[in-house]
Structure 1
């Protein structure tokens, strides 16, 4: 029986310093070399996930942007993708124009991953976030936010404003509405309906021809993958709702509990 192990990143595999520890990296590397099938699932992009997991260089698939993509850790090859349909892009363009709101839009433009934003129309919270991202994806523009092959839209603003957007859009798209655990800003992430951690895990399960899935997480956005897993483990610092759905509760994320579980339970 082939088992796929999948861990959330922030608050689960990463410690409080937003890093995977040397012990976690070495443990996963060793077990992957022995044949363990492992992935992590995160809302982060490849560009922000890689520095956080520096030292974890094993050839593993990564579930990024909450399931929009599955990418090879070493080659950066896209193994599975979930883009918005053209009519969905048109609907989102019209919706945000009517609301006079200008989100951050992630897309492939001329085969290059970019995030587009309009500097003088972005919220302060969005500009604060953008200021922390200094890579080739940055694409300040004057108009036409929704260009290229769009896969992810992020809105960072007041809770009240985003609540309205969430209720308008949640029945048509995958919408994740939450407070960032680091900045404490409110985020609304909008993705294609199929772009969830759970759906990406099922896609990866089929891609790798696995029989069983074991997952680890800490937050509400991990609920969907807990529901489709054969076994699910919440870290000690996880929210109450996730612990109630879990097969079991393991140690705190600062105690390298996912790596400890894998070392003790993977039989090869």
Structure 2
């Protein structure tokens, strides 16, 4: 039964603690369970550029869902197994809205299996910090120039003050070809993010692909935030960490321990062989 069940966890606010780390206890528990047959992976808004480093020392049984489901990445092979592009038409729509509102963005593309983040001049200090924390990663290249191939765009990410970012969100929300993830930074209050993808992109759709390609029959998931909603609706069992938003708690099978107390690992340790 266990080999037919995929256990998949969100990272920030769920598997990671407040220091954005996976504890040694969590690694020990999950690695032991994987060795004994647990099928485990993660689904995150992050790109491989930060995911690969964060997951060092953690055993995985399947490729990881990255960029909120825009792609599936095989860490061992260093390849993208599945990519959902935004499309040139929708990319142009977003660019026009950004110009009208004088808002900058990072534009993520995959070209020849390489993730590239195109950007212009920064308008908010958080953009510089975002760039500084992520540059010089082998899995992502930043380019201060115009997007070379719009057909290769995966998504746009904007960040800054709530009023400005909310305006962009409102301007794009009625386009059928788009899906948006709009949220406050869990590490820095007052900073808001907006990620804009193809309407086909979600953690849930990417997990459906993993389920199909790897023959899983059941899904057990862990999460804490609004971008986990569709994943919880898809899963056979969904467990909300104690710090999760109320909507996730309402959708959950049960509420488990806090993310800063290795809640996911503690639940897995005592329960994974029951599924």
Shift of 1:236: 1.0
**Mapping of residues 169-180 of structure 1, within 5 Å:** 169-172=172-175, 173-180=178-185
In the alignment, structure 2 segments of 5+ residues that lack a partner are none
Shift of 1:71: 1.0
| SS of the residue 1:266 aligns to | helix
Question: Which residue number in structure 1 is paired with residue 234 of structure 2?
Answer: 228
In the alignment, structure 1 segments of 5+ residues that lack a partner are none
Instruction: State the alpha-carbon separation in 2 of the partners of residues 139 and 51 from structure 1.
Output: 18
Question: Which residue number in structure 2 is paired with residue 132 of structure 1?
Answer: 133
Q: Given that residues 41 and 60 in structure 2 are in contact (C-alpha distance below 8 angstroms), is that contact kept between their aligned partners in structure 1? A: no
**Mapping of residues 1-268 of structure 1, within 5 Å:** 1=1, 2-109=4-111, 111-119=113-121, 121-135=122-136, 136=138, 137-144=140-147, 147=150, 149-172=152-175, 173-184=178-189, 185-267=191-273
Taking only aligned residues, the RMSD between alpha carbons, in angstroms, comes to 2.0
Q: Given that residues 153 and 190 in structure 1 are in contact (C-alpha distance below 8 angstroms), is that contact kept between their aligned partners in structure 2? A: yes
Shift of 1:57: 4.2
Which shifted more, 48-57 or 205-214?
A: 48-57
| SS of the residue 2:257 aligns to | coil
Q: Given that residues 118 and 146 in structure 2 are in contact (C-alpha distance below 8 angstroms), is that contact kept between their aligned partners in structure 1? A: no
| SS of the residue 1:194 aligns to | coil
Instruction: State the alpha-carbon separation in 2 of the partners of residues 153 and 214 from structure 1.
Output: 29
Instruction: State the alpha-carbon separation in 1 of the partners of residues 107 and 84 from structure 2.
Output: 15
Length, aligned pairs only: 267
Q: Given that residues 13 and 20 in structure 1 are in contact (C-alpha distance below 8 angstroms), is that contact kept between their aligned partners in structure 2? A: yes
Instruction: Calculate the TM-score normalised by the size of structure 1.
Output: 0.91
Which shifted more, 81-90 or 152-161?
A: 81-90
Distance change >3 Å, CA 34–CA 228, structure 1 → 2: same
Distance change >3 Å, CA 257–CA 144, structure 1 → 2: closer
Shift of 1:266: 2.0
| SS of the residue 2:82 aligns to | strand
Distance change >3 Å, CA 79–CA 35, structure 1 → 2: farther
Shift of 1:34: 2.4
Shift of 1:97: 2.7
Instruction: State the alpha-carbon separation in 2 of the partners of residues 216 and 249 from structure 1.
Output: 10
Shift of 1:140: 3.7
Which shifted more, 100-109 or 149-158?
A: 100-109
Instruction: State the alpha-carbon separation in 1 of the partners of residues 213 and 24 from structure 2.
Output: 29
Which shifted more, 215-224 or 133-142?
A: 133-142
Instruction: State the alpha-carbon separation in 2 of the partners of residues 212 and 14 from structure 1.
Output: 24
| SS of the residue 2:133 aligns to | coil
Instruction: State the alpha-carbon separation in 1 of the partners of residues 112 and 169 from structure 2.
Output: 30
